[in-house]
Structure 1
Amino acid sequence: MTTETSPYFGKHGADWWRGAVIYQIYPRSFMDASGDGIGDLQGVIDRLDYIASLNVDAIWLSPFFTSPMKDFGYDVSDYRGVDPMFGTLEDFDRLVEAAHARGLKVTIDQVLSHTSDQHPWFEESRASRDNPRADWYVWADAKPDGSPPTNWQSVFGGSAWQWDTRRCQYYLHNFLVEQPDLNFRHPDVVEAILGEVRFWLERGVDGFRLDAVNFCTHGALEDNPPSPLIEEGAIGVRPDNPYGFQRHLHDKTQPENLVFLERLRALLDEYPGTTSVGEVGDDDSLGVMADYTRGGNRLHMCYSFNLLTEAADPHYLHETLAEMEARIGDGWPCWALGNHDVTRLATRWQAEGDQAALRLYLAFLLTQRGSVCLYQGEELGLTEASLSFEQLVDPAGITFWPSYKGRDGCRTPMPWQADARHGGFSGATPWLPVPDEHLGLAVDRQDDDPASLLNAYRAFLAFRRELPALVKGAVRYHPVRDEVLCLERTHGDQRLLVALNFSGEARTLPAPASAAALEAAPALVNGRWADGQLTLPPYGIAIARCSQSAEEDTTWAV
C-alpha cells in the first residue's frame, strides 16, 4: 500500500511535513525491550503511546541498519537490513503500522554519502582497480612523494584520505576511516542508492532524514584554503580539530550535488505524501539550506547547526532567523535546538533546572516558521551527562579527550521510572549509564504533574496545532528590544504577535491596541496585553491575536 492510498494519507494531506513537529528517537537509548542493555525497535513500539501523547506529528528514527557500529549505525553495511541488536524487518513493519495507527508519520535516517568499509560494495571496490565496482568509491593516487592527494581533513580528525595496500591508492573518508565515501559521479552509484531509498519507500516510510547530505559529491582534487574563521572563538572552530581550520571549497557542497537531490526528489514524488529533511554543515549553512529546498524539485526541508551552538543570545537568534527568511524564498527550513550530536539544550544554553528558561526555549522553537525536530528527552529537560573517559564509547570523544568529550553525554538512556533500576530503560546494565540526576526528571515523575516541563510541551504542542499561523504561516521579525525577540506569524486572516523575553528580568513593551490574548493559550504563555502595553515576566512568553489592518500595528515594539 502506498502512502497515497492509505487512509492515513487522507487524514493529513500530502504536505503534512510543512510545519510538522518531528520527534527524534535514538533507538539505542530510547527503550530496551529485549533486556540486553541496548534500546530496540520493540522498545519504540512499546512507547508509541507516550510519543503520541506529546502531540507531535512524526518520529525520526536514527540508524537501526546492519552495521559494525564503529559510528553507532552511521556506518551502514547493509542498507536493507535491521541490525540484530535492534530487531528484524518484521519489527520495523510492525512499528510503522503501530505508529500510523496512532496518527504518527515515520521518517528514518538515510546515510547516503558513505558506507561502512564492511559493506559488500566497498569490499569489492577495494579488491582491485578493474572490478565492476572499482570506481564506486572515491579513489586517488598518491602524490609523487607518497602523501595524500589533497590536504582535506576528516571531521573526526586527521587526513580525509586513507592508504589502501590492495589497490595502492588512497580512498576518501570525510568521517571515520571505516566510513569510505561513495562516488556520486558514477551513474551506477546513484542508481544503486536510489534503489536503497526505494526499498524503504515500498515498506511504507513517510520520509527520510538525510545525514550529512551536502557531502555526497566532491569537487576537484585541489587543496582547501585556510578558513577565515580560525581566529579564536569563531563558531564551529575547535582548536583541537584541524577540520575547522579549512575553508571547505572542494570536499563538500558541490554544485553537482543538486543534480543528485533532484533525482532523489523525483523518486520521492512517486510516493505522494513522503518527505525529506537534509542535514547540512557548511561555512554558509543558511545558504545551503536555501539552495537545497528552493524551487520544489530538491529537498522538502533542511536543517543546519546554526541553532545548535552555545549562542542563546536573542540578537544572534534574530540575525540567524531573519537571514534565513531573506534567503530561502519558497524553500522551507527545519529547526532544532538539540540532537544526538550536540550537548543537551538545558546544559548548552545554561538552563539546568531553570524551568522558566526551558519553557521559553520551547516556545521560541515552536513559534518559528518551519518544521521542528525535538530530540528525545528534551521534553524532560535532561541535562548533559558527565561521563569519565572510561565510560566513553563515542569515537570522537575518545579521539579528542579531554578538550572535547564527545557525544555520549547527550545519548544516555531515557529515564522512564525514577525508582526503577536504570530508570526503567532496561533490566540489564545499559550501554551508557543513566545519570542519577536524570532520575528526578523521569517520565513517571513528570507525567502526572500539571506543572511539569513534560506537560508544558504537551500543552503547547496541542495549542500550536490549532493555529495555522504558527504551523504554516509567514513570518516577520521586529528588532530585538530589551532582550525581547518579537515576531509576527500570519496565515490567511489570522495574525499572531509573539514576544519572547530572553532576560531574567521583567520587561514592558509598547503593544498594538488591537492585540488580544488567546483564551486557549496554555499556562506557559504568561505575558499580559493591556492598555497598549505588553508586560512580560522573566523569561516570559506572549502570544496575541491582532487585527490585520490596524496601521498603528506596523511599528509594534519598535
Structure 2
Amino acid sequence: MAGADVDKDWWRGAVIYQIYPRSFQDSNGDGIGDLLGISQRLPHIASLGVDAIWISPFFTSPMKDFGYDVSDYCDVDPMFGSLADFDVLVSTAHRLGLKVMIDLVLSHTSDQHAWFKESRQSKDNDKSNWYVWADAKEDGTPPTNWLSIFGGSAWEWDTGRCQYYLHNFLTEQPDLNFHEPQVQEALLSVAQFWLDRGVDGFRLDTINFYVHDKELRDNPPLPKEKRSPIIAPEVNPYTWQIHLYDKNRPENLDFLRKLRALMSQYNAAAVGEIGDDLRGLEILGEYTSGDDLMHMSYAFELLSSKQPTAAYIADVFAQIDQVAADGWACWAFSNHDVPRHVSRWGLSDAAARCFATLMQCLRGSTCIYQGEELALPEAEVAFEDLQDPYGIRFWPAFKGRDGCRTPMVWEQSNQNGGFSTGRPWLPVSNDHLHRTVADLEQDPATILHHYRKAIAFRHAHKAILKGTQTDVSVTGDVLTFVRSYGQEDIFCAFNLSGEPGVVDMPDGNWHQIGVELGSTGAAPDGKLHLGPWQPALMIKIAS
C-alpha cells in the first residue's frame, strides 16, 4: 500500500520505456526473450534516465496474438519464465530506481481461458453471461454489422451454444461482457493480484473497447475521405464505420472509476490505450480528466503515418485545449504495433534527434519503444518469416507488425546482436547489427547519448516535466511554445524541416539553455535563426 510520503504525482511527465518481452533479451537460448533477460538488461534502461518500464504481456497464453490473448491473468507463460522470475524483475527494477508497469488486456481473453471454456458450454452456467453472446438474426447472419480489426465480422458462430460471440480482434479473442458485475469484480481482482506483487501501474490495452452497446445497434458508415490510413483501409474495412456502438460507450467510465480507486490504494498509475481515429483526443479528455478516472491515456496522433509538421502538431494541441484541457496525454512515436518512426517518416539522423528532443519538451508523459534510442529502422521481414497473423492475412498490401518487433541488438557478439545464442523467433535485421547498444555507447556523438541528454533535460526543468504549455504557434516550419511551472518559463522552438528557419523571440529576458541538444541562441536583432532540424531552448530570466 502507498505510504504517506510518496510522490502521488510520479506519473505526470514520466518517461516510460516500452519492452516487448519476446524481443528484448533471451536468457536461456531458446530464441525468445524472457523475464530474466529483461532483468539482465535493466541497467541499460536505467542509464537512459527513464522513470518506468512498460512490459507488454507475458501472461499464460496460446500466443495467437503473442500474449494479447490471455488464458491465465495471474501467471507467467513458461516461455517467459515464472512468477519468481517476475519478482526478481520487479526487485531489480526498483533497486535501479525504475517503476514497473505491466500491460493488462482486460477487454478480451483467449478462447482457451477457463472462463470462456465454461461460458461456451451452455446458456445457463455460472459464467454464461461473462462474454458477449447474442442470437443470430432471422436469416442467420450476425447480430450486428460490427467488424473485427483483424478483418471480417466481429462475430463468430459457436455451434455449442448456437449463438454468436463478439471478438473485436481475432476469433480466438472473445470479448468479456462488462455489463456483468462479476466480470468487473474478477478483473479488479486481477489488477489487485499484480499490485500486491509490487507493480507500480498498468498500460491498459484497448481501454475504450471494454463496454459494448447493450442494445446491439449497428454502426453507421464513415465517409471514405475520413477513413484512417493506420489500419490499411484499402484492404481492411474496419475504418469504414463510425464505431459508436462496439466501443467508446459511456458506461465504461463506471468501471474506470472502480479501477482508479483500487490503484489509488497502492499509489499506482495507469496509461490507457485509446484506439479511435475520430474521437481519440476527446476520449482522452473524458478518461483522464479529474482525479477519479485514468491518470493518462496513450495518444495516437504522433504515431501518424506521415511525418508530423509544425502545423499538424500545433493543431493537435489546439484540439487538446478544446476537448482535453484537464486531461493528460502520453505521447509515443513508435511502439509494437506500427512501423518504427525513423523509417515511417523517412528521418535523417538530424531529424531523428530533433524529434527526440521535441517529444521530451511536449506537455504530457512520453513512451520510448525499445530500440528507439538506437534509431533502429523498420526491419524487412520476408513473408516466410512472418509471425504476425495481421500481416499474414493482409500481405503484401499491409506487412503487419513484425518489422518493429524484431530482436533488440546489444552487441556484435554473434549474428543475433547478442539477443540470443539460439535461433531468434524473428530474424535479426542486418541493418540493425551496426547500431547495437555497445557500438553506439562508444561514441558520445551518437543518438543514444542524445536520448540520454534529452531525458536529462526534461527532468532538470519542472516546467518541461509537469508544467503548462501555452502560446503554441507556427512560423513556416518552425513550431514554438512556452512551458511554465511556478516561476520557471521555458521558450521552445523547433525547426521541423531541412531548410533554415527564422522566428521572433517573445518579449522578455531569455537565456539560452540546452546547448547539449544543439539549441541555438537569439541573434542581436532579437530573432532566432534556426538551422535545419535545430531546436532553440531558452529560459526566462527575471528582470
Within 5 Å, which residues of 2 pair with 1:161-180?
161-180=155-174
Q: Counterpart in 2 of 1:49?
A: 43
Q: Counterpart in 2 of 1:368?
A: 362
Q: Displacement, 1:237? A: 5.7
Structure 2 counterpart of 1:274, one-letter code:
A
Structure 1 counterpart of 2:243, one-letter code:
H
Structure 2 counterpart of 1:300, one-letter code:
H
Give the Cα separation in 2 of the matches to 1:66 and 1:72: 10
Within 5 Å, which residues of 2 pair with 1:19-58?
19-58=13-52
2:323 is aligned, of 314, 323, 327, to: 327
Q: Counterpart in 2 of 1:251?
A: 246
Q: Deviations over 1:202-229 (max 9, x none)?
A: 0010000000010000012111111125
Q: Tell me whether 1:418 sits opposite 2:417 in the alignment.
A: no
CA contact (8 A) 2:227 2:240 kept: no
Q: Displacement, 1:305? A: 1.6
Change in Cα spacing, 1:233 to 1:206, as seen in structure 2 (3 Å) is closer
Give the Cα separation in 2 of the matches to 1:356 and 1:248: 39
Q: Deviations over 1:493-548 (max 9, x none)?
A: 000000000110111222136353445x2522332223211121110011001257
Give the Cα separation in 2 of the matches to 1:32 and 1:235: 31
Q: Counterpart in 1 of 2:275?
A: 281
Q: Counterpart in 2 of 1:553?
A: none
Q: Displacement, 1:234? A: 5.8
1:238 is aligned, of 233, 238, 251, to: 233
Q: Deviations over 1:275-319 (max 9, x none)?
A: 010000112100000000012111000013211112322211210
Q: Tell me whether 1:198 sits opposite 2:192 in the alignment.
A: yes
CA contact (8 A) 1:360 1:500 kept: yes
CA contact (8 A) 1:238 1:244 kept: yes
Q: Counterpart in 2 of 1:129?
A: 123
2:500 is aligned, of 491, 498, 506, to: 506
Within 5 Å, which residues of 2 pair with 1:55-454?
55-219=49-213, 220-230=215-225, 238-271=233-266, 273-282=267-276, 283-311=278-306, 312-351=308-347, 354-454=348-448
Question: Which segments of 5 or more consecutive residues in structure 1 lack a partner in the other structure?
Answer: 550-558
Q: Deviations over 1:357-410 (max 9, x none)?
A: 001110111111110111000000000111111110001000111100000000
After TM superposition, the score normalised by the length of structure 2 is 0.97
Q: Displacement, 1:235? A: 6.2
Give the Cα separation in 1 of the matches to 2:509 and 2:407: 44
2:522 is aligned, of 520, 529, 534, to: 529
Structure 1 counterpart of 2:44, one-letter code:
Y
Q: Displacement, 1:233? A: 7.3
CA contact (8 A) 1:418 1:441 kept: no
Deviates more, 1:484-493 or 1:474-483: 474-483
Give the Cα separation in 2 of the matches to 1:165 and 1:233: 35
Moved over 3 A (4+): 229-237, 512-519
Question: Which segments of 5 or more consecutive residues in structure 2 lack a partner in the other structure?
Answer: none
CA contact (8 A) 2:375 2:447 kept: yes
SS at match of 2:100: strand
Structure 2 counterpart of 1:474, one-letter code:
T
Structure 2 counterpart of 1:184, one-letter code:
F
SS at match of 2:297: strand
SS at match of 1:296: coil
Give the Cα separation in 1 of the matches to 2:302 and 2:439: 29
Q: Displacement, 1:131? A: 0.4
Give the Cα separation in 1 of the matches to 2:382 and 2:373: 26
SS at match of 1:461: helix
Deviates more, 1:249-258 or 1:320-329: 320-329
Q: Counterpart in 2 of 1:555?
A: none
Change in Cα spacing, 1:535 to 1:398, as seen in structure 2 (3 Å) is same
Structure 2 counterpart of 1:286, one-letter code:
L
CA contact (8 A) 1:128 1:167 kept: yes
SS at match of 1:190: helix
Aligned residues, how many? 539
CA contact (8 A) 2:299 2:329 kept: no
CA contact (8 A) 2:30 2:422 kept: yes
CA contact (8 A) 1:459 1:522 kept: no
Give the Cα separation in 2 of the matches to 1:192 and 1:358: 44
SS at match of 2:384: helix
Give the Cα separation in 1 of the matches to 2:401 and 2:298: 19
Paired-residue identity, %: 54
Deviates more, 1:504-513 or 1:191-200: 504-513
RMSD over aligned Cα, in angstroms?
1.5
Structure 2 counterpart of 1:167, one-letter code:
R
CA contact (8 A) 2:512 2:520 kept: no
Structure 2 counterpart of 1:249, one-letter code:
L
Structure 2 counterpart of 1:464, one-letter code:
R
After TM superposition, the score normalised by the length of structure 1 is 0.94
Q: Displacement, 1:142? A: 0.4
Give the Cα separation in 2 of the matches to 1:4 and 1:107: 19
SS at match of 2:185: helix
